[in-house]
């Protein structure tokens, strides 16, 4: 089997004409991340003199020189050595005629973050900024650009063992992916030793990082202590592990697709900073799928949040018993109650409340208002409709003229599906879901003989300013369920009190500190 060096020499001999590229990829930028080490130096050399597979459907192909750009990030972690790395990359780019962008990064305030992780995040953030600038200048879509890293089969095997030592699921054990969005890694089939041999054969020097010998870092411990021992059992260790990572990656992608489909059927409510899931569906899901559903739901709120297994298991434990709450990374509140799992960001908690309201409870709303629910039993021999009118403080005209607003609504317990006897005995706990208006909301306004209207149209007829509508509390039977009351605006006709009403739930909205 030919070595990687022999393969690249053969490719150079086959000619230098690049394969034709159609559409926006003709001039889309290709950013090479070059540190000056052996692997990234080999990447630059191959990009300029040979072929690379950029995962664009062409397979290994020459890259048009005008597309190539180099990014070097100087972390300033090794003093003069870091500056020497930068000088080396500058000379290399000047020799090959490739534009160079240098980013300078400092780590004065890590806030407990791992230095290696912080440095990696800084590099990718710089690469994304550079790609945005280049695609804007070239007038090409970002999806056609490529960020190319020099990760090898050796890096992939090391990352696999690192994640196994730290404790990781399938996503971590699949290690470094060949592609993630516009980030591609064309050297994953080559080992570090093969690339250094390629450089030696080409007469090209590279920079060595002396900190790579420090085994107090986990990667260096795996590289210098664990890998040599494992290689004694399998001389082809890197490729064997890489093949396993490909399998794990494919299966992880398939499981993630299953989880995404299951999550869509489980969603009950989504809005800015809020996700509500059907607790019963989540609890009945296969555990492998349920774990991923929790991660995906959290990612909907904050793509940067990284959950540990203990966080996921904590959420699922609450779902399993039907109640409980915990705070997740990023300040996300996870709360299981009334059959629903509610995930809410810290920012959303400060805005209009989206939560459950039970009988005898009060809920603080936006703009200093309070919403309260309480049970009222219709006195024996009393007219339920007249009693409801008295308890709401509304006149007959209030009830007959739906254009008028009133901050109190009396709701028939039977229409909600509750037996008054169960509410009195405490055998059933009645509750409402309160949140903001959602696109497509429909209500059956009181006084319209059961006909339905879009809630937005009701707002328009009541002359509610568009800017004020998101702050109108909407009381529902459940997340995504039927509207009971657009608070202070309109009661749904299906839940009004009738001559047959035996029990009433009074909903009151008032200013904080005012009497209900």
Domain definitions of the chain by residue range: 4-16+23-245, 272-348, 355-511
Question: Residues 46-59: what's their mean pLDDT?
Answer: 92
Local confidence band at 512 (pLDDT 50, 70, 90 cut-offs): low
Over the stretch 434-449, which tens digit does the pLDDT of each residue have?
988 988 899 999 888 8
Read off the tokens for 257. Answer: 């697709």
- pLDDT of 228 reads 95
What pairing do the DSSP bridges indicate for beta strands 68-74 and 100-104? parallel
What is the helix (H) or strand (E) element at residue 95, kind and residue range?
Answer: helix 80-96
Stronger pLDDT, 147 or 268, i.e. the higher one: 147
Closest CA to 34 of 119, 95, 101: 101
Reply yes or no on whether the pLDDT at 171 is more than 90.
no
The three-state DSSP-derived secondary structure of 494-514 is HHCCCCCCCEEEEEEEEECCC
Stronger pLDDT, 335 or 111, i.e. the higher one: 335
- pLDDT of 24 reads 57
Reply yes or no on whether the pLDDT at 2 is more than 80.
no
Local confidence band at 107 (pLDDT 50, 70, 90 cut-offs): confident
Which of 96-100, 265-269, 392-396 shows the lowest per-residue confidence on average (mean pLDDT)? 392-396
Q: CATH for 355-511?
A: 3.50.40.10
- pLDDT of 11 reads 42
Stronger pLDDT, 471 or 9, i.e. the higher one: 471
Closest CA to 312 of 322, 326, 331, 301: 326
Closest CA to 343 of 359, 354, 358: 354
- pLDDT of 403 reads 36
Q: CATH for 272-348?
A: 3.30.465.60
Cβ atoms within 10 Å, residue 8: 24
359 within 8 A of 346, measured Cβ to Cβ = no
- pLDDT of 398 reads 43
Question: How many Å apart are CA 165 and CA 155, to the nearest integer?
Answer: 15
Reply yes or no on whether the pLDDT at 302 is more than 60.
yes
> Does the domain made of 4-16+23-245 have the CATH classification 1.10.390.10?
no
- pLDDT of 4 reads 45
Read off the tokens for 486. Answer: 């657009």
Stronger pLDDT, 309 or 131, i.e. the higher one: 131
Cβ atoms within 10 Å, residue 176: 20
What is the helix (H) or strand (E) element at residue 373, kind and residue range?
Answer: strand 369-377
Give helix then strand counts, H and E, for the chain: 18, 22
259 within 8 A of 285, measured Cβ to Cβ = no
Local confidence band at 349 (pLDDT 50, 70, 90 cut-offs): low
Burial class (CB in 10 A: 0-12, 13-18, 19+), 417: exposed
Question: How many Å apart are CA 151 and CA 162, to the nearest integer?
Answer: 15
Reply yes or no on whether the pLDDT at 386 is more than 70.
yes
Reply yes or no on whether the pLDDT at 1 is more than 60.
no
Stronger pLDDT, 347 or 56, i.e. the higher one: 56
Closest CA to 20 of 70, 68, 57: 57
Reply yes or no on whether the pLDDT at 6 is more than 60.
no
297 within 8 A of 343, measured Cβ to Cβ = yes
Mean pLDDT over all residues of the chain? Answer: 86
Local confidence band at 127 (pLDDT 50, 70, 90 cut-offs): very high
Reply yes or no on whether the pLDDT at 33 is more than 70.
yes
Reply yes or no on whether the pLDDT at 261 is more than 60.
yes
Local confidence band at 22 (pLDDT 50, 70, 90 cut-offs): low
Local confidence band at 5 (pLDDT 50, 70, 90 cut-offs): very low
Local confidence band at 9 (pLDDT 50, 70, 90 cut-offs): very low
Share of the chain above pLDDT 90, in %: 59
Statement: the pTM of the whole predicted model exceeds 0.75 = no
- The torsion angles phi and psi of 347, rounded to 5 degrees, stand at -65, -40
- The torsion angles phi and psi of 277, rounded to 5 degrees, stand at -115, 150
- pLDDT of 441 reads 93
Most confident of 87-101, 319-333, 340-354, 470-484: 87-101
Over the stretch 407-444, which tens digit does the pLDDT of each residue have?
899 999 999 999 888 887 777 788 899 988 988 899 99
């Amino acid at each position: 089997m030919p070595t990687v060096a022999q393969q690249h020499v053969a490719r150079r001999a086959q000619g230098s004409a690049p394969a034709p590229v159609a559409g926006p990829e003709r001039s889309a930028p290709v950013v090479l991340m070059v540190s000056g080490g052996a692997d990234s130096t080999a990447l630059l050399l191959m990009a300029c003199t040979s072929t690379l597979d950029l995962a664009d459907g062409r397979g290994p192909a020459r890259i048009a020189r005008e597309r190539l750009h180099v990014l070097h990030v100087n972390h300033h972690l090794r003093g003069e050595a870091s500056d020497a790395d930068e000088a080396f990359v500058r000379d290399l780019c000047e020799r090959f005629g490739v534009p160079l962008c240098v980013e300078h990064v400092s780590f004065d305030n890590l806030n407990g973050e791992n230095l290696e992780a912080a440095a990696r995040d800084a590099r990718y953030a710089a690469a994304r900024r550079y790609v945005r600038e280049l695609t804007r200048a070239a007038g090409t879509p970002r999806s056609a650009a490529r960020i190319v890293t020099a990760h090898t089969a050796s890096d992939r095997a090391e990352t696999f063992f690192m994640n196994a030592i730290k404790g990781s699921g399938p996503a971590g054990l699949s290690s470094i992916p060949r592609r993630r969005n516009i980030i591609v890694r064309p050297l994953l089939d080559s080992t570090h030793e093969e690339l250094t041999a390629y450089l030696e054969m080409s007469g090209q020097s590279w920079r060595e990082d002396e900190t790579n010998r420090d085994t107090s870092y986990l990667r260096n411990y795996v590289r210098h202590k664990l890998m040599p021992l494992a290689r004694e059992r399998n001389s082809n260790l890197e490729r064997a592990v890489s093949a396993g990572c490909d399998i794990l990656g494919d299966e992880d992608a398939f499981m993630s697709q299953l989880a995404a489909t299951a999550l869509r059927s489980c969603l009950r409510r989504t809005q800015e900073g809020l996700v509500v899931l059907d607790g019963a569906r989540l609890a009945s899901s296969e555990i492998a799928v349920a774990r991923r559903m929790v991660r995906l739901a959290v990612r909907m709120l904050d793509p940067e949040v990284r959950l540990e297994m203990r966080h996921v298991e904590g959420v699922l434990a609450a779902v399993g018993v039907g109640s409980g709450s915990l705070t997740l990374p990023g300040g996300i509140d996870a709360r299981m109650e009334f059959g629903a799992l509610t995930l809410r960001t810290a920012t959303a908690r400060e805005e209009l409340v989206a939560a459950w309201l039970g009988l005898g409870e009060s809920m603080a709303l936006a703009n200093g208002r309070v919403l309260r629910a309480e049970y009222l039993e219709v006195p024996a021999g009393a007219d339920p409709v007249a009693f409801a009118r008295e308890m709401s403080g509304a006149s007959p005209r209030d009830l007959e003229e739906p254009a008028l607003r009133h901050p109190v609504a009396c709701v028939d317990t039977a229409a909600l599906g509750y037996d008054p006897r169960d509410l009195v005995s405490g055998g059933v706990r009645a509750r409402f879901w309160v949140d903001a208006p959602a696109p497509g909301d429909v209500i059956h306004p009181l006084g319209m003989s059961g006909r339905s209207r879009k809630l937005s149209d009701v707002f328009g007829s009541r002359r509610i300013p568009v800017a004020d509508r998101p702050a109108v509390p909407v009381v529902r039977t459940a997340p995504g369920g039927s509207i009971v009351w657009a608070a202070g605006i309109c009661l749904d006709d299906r839940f009004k009190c009738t001559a047959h009403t035996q029990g009433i739930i009074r909903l009151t909205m008032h200013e904080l500190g005012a009497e209900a």
